[in-house]
Chain A
């Protein structure tokens, strides 16, 4: 991808003077045991089922659902009870309505089975559920931002505690507590993956 080469050259151009960088690199070694941010981000997105792959599969599934029909089945039963009186004069008798000559008695049962399959072909072109998937994009990006911010806020705190700890013991304790709070939140947002990744990193 074009971006790759761009950012590489950019990275080189914004890197500053060597001595200061060595000092920074030394300090950043304190964070070496932290799991990579990309892994933490991925764990959070997977935990909330809003990773890019999840969203893509939701979109694809929304369209493919058109391939399956909706099925309907039915059973019809009719009790056919009929009594018919006929004024049949074929035999040459005079017709007497009070005494019909022929009577049909029918006592039957009609049965019918039906089945139908219906395809909404329009969904192959577009399905409304594709729009619904967009609502997850906002959640995905919020989650991503939140996890990343927590990750780096913790790193700020860790470096502050290690390199320039506050003199006030209360402030020091508050900074430590905040770091633990952030770790707990990272665990909650990644379904415990943060702790697992850290153990793995060690």
Chain B
């Protein structure tokens, strides 16, 4: 099984992984700097927010998911109906497409179960499905610092902390935003306390840091669905909707279209991402479209360098407001950097695993600082003053990582885990062949029947004897009658074999999307094993370093045990960090 780990070693001199303290198996969905470059807040799909104050050495949870608390019966129905809503609304657009199919399936199953039996009890399986749905709804989708507050967004709720992350309170977004999907929050740099919130019900605004929300003063025309919002430096709102970009007019009172971008223009494709910056004395828009990165400068559209690799689908673009011309662009697995306003890009980072780039973060107070989140890892570029020291450390870590790789090869762990889950590629292929050949086997039916009859028959000469002299009068109409009474039965049996020849060539189990789901599951589990292995390896590497404080050693020791515990279960004990004692209880070796 090809495992892309060598780039990680090659990049070790320029990048360090700082997400080792995060729980493995949980994807990063949001990231923000706190107070300084080493203060980082990370939101995850499971609804946690972790914070590090030491540049990623240790993380502590500062926000726990609200929707994964133990479930009780009344909530089951609410969640089930919400799952049905999800199916229709598809609001969780931040979800990785790989996971979307699974979640929709889970929601459909859940909705079906509850529909079929309104009185259904919370069976473990159903409760698990509910948890899965709830978890998707609990993902932290954005962390936004609007000093002095910190906002957290989940798909359905908005949270705020005004005491530097110590406590978070859920905000009431008012009747307009009630039970509505919440997409994005942005702070007005020109007016303290003014924030705008994009929801499915429209754009809301608050002038008191979220205490109260109202519909945005300059309502977007025609009630059109707003895709994205951002404030300009002068406090005017920028809106993307229907593939076009609008900016609030000076002094409010409506919007004007800028950069006449729309489908069918010289640049085609869906508008995915936008960055607004003040460059060369006038606003410049950078758009990520299905056709690459497009810059809109002075109302004219120009497509930027196609990232040196031909037609590459860009995912994000990040503009360094502090350094004109400095642009970062991310594709699924790489990050490119330009210092000449996009005229040329060079490759800056390759994701060391098969995960995709999820977030970019820069400008944490250190020049050239850049964080890349991929799946469950965070990589940081080493460019600061103590870069040489960190590079040396990274070099040592790379050597230890290489040793770990040779002693417990990731491919072997993967192979064992996937085989245990019956997800090894060859096993799935076998199953698929089986599903095809099963149609060579007939359906055999053995039938037996026993029939019996009881039919009294009366045969009667009915001619009129009186009218024919040749027949004497008998005096009774049935003197010449004959009785035929049959009784008895017959038994039959048969064996029938039925082949449906069409099914041998293809049926729903050989070509259906069910197998695609199995493949997706295999991919997901591969990522998970990789994440756990990387987390375990990182903790082991950290523990091999000298001079760590007791706190750091304890932290990494627990992280190492956590990853090992999961790998041990996934491999059915094959990872073997645990042993069974004499009493049959499982104890950690240490």
Contact B585 A126 (CB under 8 A): no
Cβ of B517 under 8 Å from chain A: yes
Report, as a range, how many residues of chain B touch the other chain. 35 or more
Residues of A107-132 at the interface with B, using a CB-CB cut-off of 8 Å, are 107-128, 130-131
Question: Smallest Cβ distance from B21 to chain A, in angstroms?
Answer: 10
Cβ of B23 under 8 Å from chain A: yes
Cα separation A79 to B464 with both chains bound (whole Å)? 30
Residues of B within 8 A of A134 (CB): 422-423, 517-518, 521
Question: Smallest Cβ distance from A20 to chain B, in angstroms?
Answer: 6
Residues of B within 8 A of A137 (CB): 421-423, 521, 525
* Option from A28, A115, A138, A149 in Cβ contact (under 8 Å) with B102: A138
Cβ of B576 under 8 Å from chain A: yes
Hey, which bits of chain B sit against chain A, CB under 8 A?
Answer: 23-26, 46, 60-61, 64, 68-71, 102, 105-106, 109, 124-125, 127-129, 131-132, 135, 166-167, 400, 403-404, 407-408, 412-413, 416, 420-423, 431, 434-435, 437-464, 467-468, 509, 514-515, 517-518, 521, 524-525, 528, 540-541, 543-546, 548, 550-551, 553-555, 557-562, 565-566, 568-578, 585-590
Q: List 7 A-B contacts (CB under 8 A).
A: A107-B455, A109-B455, A110-B454, A112-B449, A112-B450, A126-B435, A156-B60
Cα separation A143 to B540 with both chains bound (whole Å)? 25
Contact A100 B438 (CB under 8 A): no
Residues of A30-87 at the interface with B, using a CB-CB cut-off of 8 Å, are 36-39, 41, 47-50, 52, 55, 59, 69, 76, 80, 85
Contact A3 to B412, CB < 8 A, known contacts A113-B450, A121-B444, A146-B46: yes
Residues of B within 8 A of A185 (CB): 68-70
Contact A117 to B459, CB < 8 A, known contacts A38-B568, A138-B524, A149-B562: no
Contact B64 A38 (CB under 8 A): no
- Sort A-B residue pairs by CB-CB distance and give the 6 closest, nearest first: A108-B455, A188-B70, A122-B438, A126-B434, A112-B451, A121-B441
Contact B457 A141 (CB under 8 A): no
Residues of A within 8 A of B444 (CB): 118-119, 121
Contact A3 to B574, CB < 8 A, known contacts A16-B553, A149-B562, A184-B70: yes
Contact B460 A102 (CB under 8 A): yes
Residues of A within 8 A of B561 (CB): 37, 152
Contact A36 B587 (CB under 8 A): yes
With both beta carbons as reference points, the residue of chain A lying nearest to B485 in the complex is identified as A108
Contact A52 to B420, CB < 8 A, known contacts A28-B554, A39-B586, A108-B456: yes
With A28-B554, A112-B450, A144-B570 given, name 10 new contacts (CB 8 A): A3-B412, A15-B543, A48-B125, A76-B451, A108-B457, A110-B453, A110-B454, A128-B435, A134-B518, A139-B128
Residues of A150-202 at the interface with B, using a CB-CB cut-off of 8 Å, are 151-153, 155-156, 159-160, 163-164, 168, 170-171, 174, 178, 181, 184-185, 187-188, 191
* Option from A108, A138, A145, A148 in Cβ contact (under 8 Å) with B453: A108
Contact B586 A20 (CB under 8 A): no
Contact A4 to B565, CB < 8 A, known contacts A103-B460, A122-B443, A171-B166: no
Chain A interface, >50% SS class: helix
Residues of B within 8 A of A139 (CB): 125, 128-129, 132
Contact B452 A114 (CB under 8 A): no
Residues of A within 8 A of B408 (CB): 3, 6-7, 10
* Option from B454, B566, B571 in Cβ contact (under 8 Å) with A108: B454
Contact A41 B589 (CB under 8 A): no
With both beta carbons as reference points, the residue of chain A lying nearest to B577 in the complex is identified as A7
Residues of A within 8 A of B458 (CB): 104-106
Contact A48 B124 (CB under 8 A): yes
Question: Smallest Cβ distance from B526 to chain A, in angstroms?
Answer: 11
Contact B455 A174 (CB under 8 A): no
Contact B562 A148 (CB under 8 A): yes
Residues of B within 8 A of A149 (CB): 23, 25-26, 46, 562
Contact A59 B422 (CB under 8 A): yes
Cα separation A83 to B464 with both chains bound (whole Å)? 18
Cα separation A190 to B519 with both chains bound (whole Å)? 30
Contact A37 B25 (CB under 8 A): no
Residues of B within 8 A of A116 (CB): 445-448
Cα separation A44 to B92 with both chains bound (whole Å)? 28
Contact A13 B403 (CB under 8 A): yes
Contact B439 A122 (CB under 8 A): yes
* Option from B456, B548, B555, B565 in Cβ contact (under 8 Å) with A37: B565
Residues of B within 8 A of A103 (CB): 459-460, 462
Cα separation A28 to B447 with both chains bound (whole Å)? 70
Contact A1 to B70, CB < 8 A, known contacts A104-B457, A110-B453, A120-B443: no
* Option from B129, B439, B449, B464 in Cβ contact (under 8 Å) with A115: B449
Cα separation A196 to B221 with both chains bound (whole Å)? 61
Contact A148 B565 (CB under 8 A): yes
Contact A117 B446 (CB under 8 A): yes
Cα separation A148 to B403 with both chains bound (whole Å)? 27
**A 6-32 to B, binary, CB cutoff 8 A, 1 in contact else 0:** 111111011111001001110110000
Question: Smallest Cβ distance from A57 to chain B, in angstroms?
Answer: 13
Residues of A within 8 A of B560 (CB): 14
Contact B422 A24 (CB under 8 A): no
Contact B456 A106 (CB under 8 A): yes
With both beta carbons as reference points, the residue of chain B lying nearest to A59 in the complex is identified as B422
Contact A52 B572 (CB under 8 A): yes
Residues of B within 8 A of A106 (CB): 455-458
Contact A14 B543 (CB under 8 A): yes
Residues of A within 8 A of B23 (CB): 145, 149, 152-153
Cα separation A187 to B431 with both chains bound (whole Å)? 37
With both beta carbons as reference points, the residue of chain A lying nearest to B21 in the complex is identified as A156
Question: Smallest Cβ distance from A24 to chain B, in angstroms?
Answer: 5
Contact A27 B554 (CB under 8 A): yes
With both beta carbons as reference points, the residue of chain B lying nearest to A37 in the complex is identified as B565
Residues of B within 8 A of A76 (CB): 451
Contact B443 A121 (CB under 8 A): yes
Question: Smallest Cβ distance from B446 to chain A, in angstroms?
Answer: 5
Residues of A within 8 A of B462 (CB): 85, 99-103
* Option from A50, A115, A128, A151 in Cβ contact (under 8 Å) with B447: A115
Contact A109 to B454, CB < 8 A, known contacts A3-B574, A145-B26, A178-B61: yes
Cα separation A24 to B558 with both chains bound (whole Å)? 10
Question: Smallest Cβ distance from B461 to chain A, in angstroms?
Answer: 6
With both beta carbons as reference points, the residue of chain B lying nearest to A111 in the complex is identified as B452
Cα separation A69 to B443 with both chains bound (whole Å)? 10
Contact B550 A27 (CB under 8 A): yes
Residues of B within 8 A of A39 (CB): 585-586
Question: Smallest Cβ distance from A117 to chain B, in angstroms?
Answer: 5
Contact A102 to B461, CB < 8 A, known contacts A14-B540, A24-B557, A116-B446: yes
Residues of A within 8 A of B571 (CB): 3
Contact A80 B421 (CB under 8 A): no
Residues of A within 8 A of B546 (CB): 16-17
* Option from A114, A118, A138 in Cβ contact (under 8 Å) with B449: A114
Contact A113 to B449, CB < 8 A, known contacts A37-B561, A139-B125: yes
Residues of A within 8 A of B420 (CB): 52
